[in-house]
Each structure stands twice: as C-alpha cells, then as structure tokens.
Amino acid sequence: MFEKALGLPLHVLVVHAVVVFVPLLVLLALAYIALPRFRARLDWAVALLAVVAPITAWVAKKSGEALEARQIERGFSGEILDKINDHAAHGEMLFRVTLALGLVVILLLVATSNHPRVPKLPGWVPVVLSIVVLGLGVAALVYVWLTGHSGSEMVWGNTYE
C-alpha cells in the first residue's frame, strides 16, 4: 500500500508534501498566536493543516519503511543502511513532533474559540498552549531539516561539489 504511486516510490513523492505542510502549519499557527485579530480568518486553515501535516508525516514514515524494506531485499547493507536508519530515526521523530504539534494546535484553537460549548478557561491556558506550540513548532522545523537533509545526502551525496 505504501510502496508505489505513479510508478515511483511513494516516499519520493510524499516527502514533498511534508516539506510544505509542516512548515506551513508552524507558520500559520504562529500567525494565529501572534495576530489575534486575524484568528477568525486563520482558524480553518490552521485546523486543516493541524490534521493534514501529521497525516503526511505518517504516510512519509510508512512509505519510507516500505522503501527501506525493499532496499534491504535488494541487498543494501553496511554504511548505506546505517544512513537509511539515521534518516528513518529523524523521520520517526518528525512524525511524533508533528502529531503532538497538530494536537496542541487543535487544543489552542478550541481554547481560544469562544464557542458557547467550550467552558470558560483560565487566561493562562491559551498562553501555555501557545508556548508549547512555539516549542513544538521549532522542533518540527528542526526535524524537517534533519530528515530532509539526511535523505537528500543519501540520494544526492556529493553531486554538487
């Protein structure tokens, strides 16, 4: 299921979605926090990205695992397998951080919604959630970079030196 799409390894295609959606989630979530007067315009986009970004990270992780299994079947071992495992570890952390970020962003959206079904929360709750979103956002961007860099180094190596 996670091996191919359009004749290419699915992983090669879906990583591009992760590289777009995770930073976009971080950017719009931070805009939601920093620009309260625009929250009504940003809330649906932020909510959508809070769901889509972790899903793309999960699909990238699962398709990466399928690609890794295929490469092992083809005889990959030694140094290249170590690089694949390093890349996979970064991808696993990226998925976990992005999932946590998505969940906390949704909690922040609910806490700041002023919806009649949401009980009145203490003023410190949105502040704490905003700080957590900021921290997870930074971590997500770091892991997007680490994962992408380790993957591109494996594929492209010293091509541009």
Q: What is the pLDDT of residues 87-143, one digit of tens each?
A: 999 999 999 999 999 999 999 999 999 887 878 888 899 999 999 999 999 999 999
- Mean pLDDT for 50-74 is 92
17 falls in which pLDDT band (50, 70, 90)? very high
What is the domain partition of the chain in residue ranges? 4-156
Q: What is the pLDDT of residue 159?
A: 63
Q: What is the pLDDT of residue 10?
A: 83
Q: Using an 8 Å Cβ cutoff, are 138 and 94 in contact?
A: no
Q: What is the pTM of this model?
A: 0.90
Helices 124-156 + 10-34 axis angle, to 10: 150
The gap from C-alpha 155 to its chain's centroid, in whole angstroms, comes to 21
Separation of alpha carbons 31 and 60, rounded Å: 26
Q: What is the pLDDT of residue 34?
A: 97
Separation of alpha carbons 2 and 108, rounded Å: 32
